[in-house]
Structure 1
Amino acid sequence: MSETQATLSAAALNKRPEHVSLGNDNLLSFFESSVGPGAFVFSLWGLAYFFEGEILPRYFILSILVFALTFPGQARLQSSVFSMAVDISVNWFWVAGLLLVTGFASGYIHEFSKPVFYTWLLAAPLAKLGGYLALRRAAPMILKLQGRKKRAIIVGMNEQGLALANKIDDAPYSRIELVGIVDSRKIERLDTSGPHKLLGNLDELAQLVKTNNIQIIYLSLPMATQPRVLQILDQLKDTTTSIYFVPDMFVTDLIQGHPASVCGMPVISVCETPFKAVNGVVKRLSDIVFSLLILILISPVMLIIAAAVKLGSAGPIIFKQRRYGLDGDEILVYKFRSMSVTEDGGAIQQAQKNDTRITPLGAILRRTSLDELPQFVNVLQGRMSIVGPRPHAVAHNELYRKLIKGYMVRHKVKPGITGWAQVNGYRGETETLDKMQGRIDFDLDYLRNWSLQLDAHIILKTIRLVLKDQKAY
């Protein structure tokens, strides 16, 4: 068997386009998986209301059953209309057949109005087809709402790397912009006849990532080059790029490592945020709800503190300091001013025990973490999260990113008001490199193992620690 035949897909043999997943971070993927089941449900409700004047409980039960049988829907946006209609008809034939057999066997079918039920059996696939066609028309607008495409580089101009590049180019609804390919082999050994630009060699990869504003890297390298792969990963740990392997791979110490698909090609994430797709929505909604509730509850306390800061010493009430946020972008973080200075320059000294810069009121605010309360406003703004790695001053980031491997990976998520490191003994001053290393280790452990239960545990433990901890100066 030839190499081409070995990689031939069943879809190609049938002369039909492959149903390509759009990826978990593409909003279209959510709509694509929901439009079919949703069409079945809403067409049933509409007919029930039309014929009977109301949607009786029996129709709700049937709609739940149908949704469970058909969700998630298949990827069909890139199919022809004829192919889409055939697939929908065949799929509905089996679902409707199962419903009819079950309904007659149980006698439950007699609970439904015949005009409603049999009209729905004919209308449901038409509603699903109409839903997909409407989604196809709306797709460009939905893609535009998600902002600019993510810029990507493929490492390895080999068969699998070029196959991935072609998949990305041929996917009209992808949110990925392929900038080019990186490979260190001699030009004579590379297939440069295609449309994909050769950007440079592997030694230039870190610089190419910075100069081309790259958000995603796909490593298409064979397992035999494991030492080279590890060297590349070390080079990239001072960036915030998401890194994926296009298997044949070997890697350890994954951050949210899981299999995924990019335009139909299997990849494995090496370093990724835990807050993609549903997890991201859940995290953001929980931040909004809890920060609003907390701000309402603590507003009297904040007013009292603001007045005390203003009357206690000269200077602003709110201290704004630059921090690194999500993806290493600078953000402004709010705190009640607790020092007589408002340092935000290239060299900042961490607060220490008996620090003369700290005001008497500031000492109380810092020890009880009341100075952090304005950061709930940062959470509402979307700059921070309630739980996440604590944001460090920009000057500290620039120092420690050079000293601690993997330091910048903590910026794959939004910084938090409290974090896993803080509740494990790394709150306050980190006067030695070992202590900062310990803090980073816990931050990365949080990224690997995030869950809502972990967030809740951290919040509860933070409340207990604030009442007795003396490590914050």
Structure 2
Amino acid sequence: MNSARRRFQFETAPSSGLANSPTQDRKWPVQYDSVELLAVLADFATIFTASLVAAFAHKLVFGAPQDISRLTGVALPMSVVFAAVFKSCNMYSPTALLNLRNQIRAVCAIWLGVFILFVATTYALHMEQDIRWDTALTFGAVGLVSLIAQRALLRDALRKGLSERRFSGRKIVLITDEHGQHLVNMLSDLGFFVEKHFTLPVFHSSQRRQEKLIEMIIDHTRETEVREIFFGVSLNHWSRLKRVVGALHVLPLRVRLVPTGASSELFCRPSTELGGARCVELHRGPLSPIDLLAKRALDICLSTIVLTVLAPLLLTVAAAIKLDSPGPVLFKQQRCGFNGRRFTIFKFRTMSVLEDGTSIVQATARDPRVTRLGGWLRRTSIDEIPQLLNVLEGSMSIVGPRPHAMAHDNEFNKAVRHYAYRRRVKPGLTGLAQIKGYRGPTPTPDSIEGRVEQDLFYIDNWSFGMDLMILAQTPLELIRGRNAF
């Protein structure tokens, strides 16, 4: 019996050391699994507190009390919308909370969108007398600062909890195959105390050895305070795993599987129910009908508003181009769009040439082909505004991978792997690559590879919240003016 136990099981060093470690007695009453829920509740509390601060600030400055019930009543739906969009972007997961830079970007973009919605709703319902504009601005500013500060505190607390193993957890039994040894330290970092670690017998082991393992697991869990059983195995062992799990049904414990090996990749992909079967999405196709409708509605509304508001500026620029140099006002060029379909892109003419053939030279700093007015138009990106006409006609979107000239498109397609994957969505006026610094010409292989990498990440991880975040950061990138010539 003792020799069999030595063959099938062993205690890991990290587990046995945790029992007497100083931090073991100072565990937080928080489990790693509940971090996401706590982050959502923290956002609700932060937004609600920001509404109270704005109301009391109005009273201190103006001497007249703001109707607190009105402002806090608005804070509740705002927090719901903010949390829903944030959740849809998967920004509440512990791994996402650890990335403070992305958290700040998402908070700024989503909070700005929610605040604009709040202001529009207030005036649409004629509530401006109940909620003064100065109080609303204070609420927006305090809410933004508070949400960012809260993200910094959450990031630091999460780091401390992981590094010092402060998260509370349960005593567990871990059964792994040859690929699951790393799970011992991972589960320990997340607060679980690995009471016993068993190794699944090899594939060709006898039935008696498997039964002996099951007997040892059951005996051990009944003699200790074990609360859960974890399997860290590859699905190549599925038949053996089912037999072991089936035998463990006699235990009133939760049994969980952490897939290892190549099969673990399947569990990272989205899945849906298809009749009585489970369907795993191996390759993300075009956006769903609802996603397409939401994105198209944003394209039409935003492009119509911008073209209407900037109409005087656009007419002035058109006249200035005509006076500055000979040639047409608009520059037209063939580009490759959604699913490889060609379309004609519109831009304000900024050069003395109209290249649209098999050989096109990208603009460079102090390019002699750029006109006097064209240099300013390119630096401010005003020359790109006519592409809103492409957005209205449906060949482009506000946000998406930037389209390249046909000559460059063919060249990049040969040089960069998966370059053609960019055509799975409509090209955009701005995109993730542009706010990440990959704006303007691509003179080196690294620059085009970096742009393609960002474009593919956008396509594979698209969400409405990500579009809002990119739109919010685009003006900041225009002000910085990186690679704009």
State the TM-score bracket (shorter-chain normalisation): 0.3 to 0.5
Name whichever structure is richer in helix by fraction: 2
TM-score under structure 1 length normalisation: 0.45
Between structure 1 and structure 2, the one with the greater Rg is 2
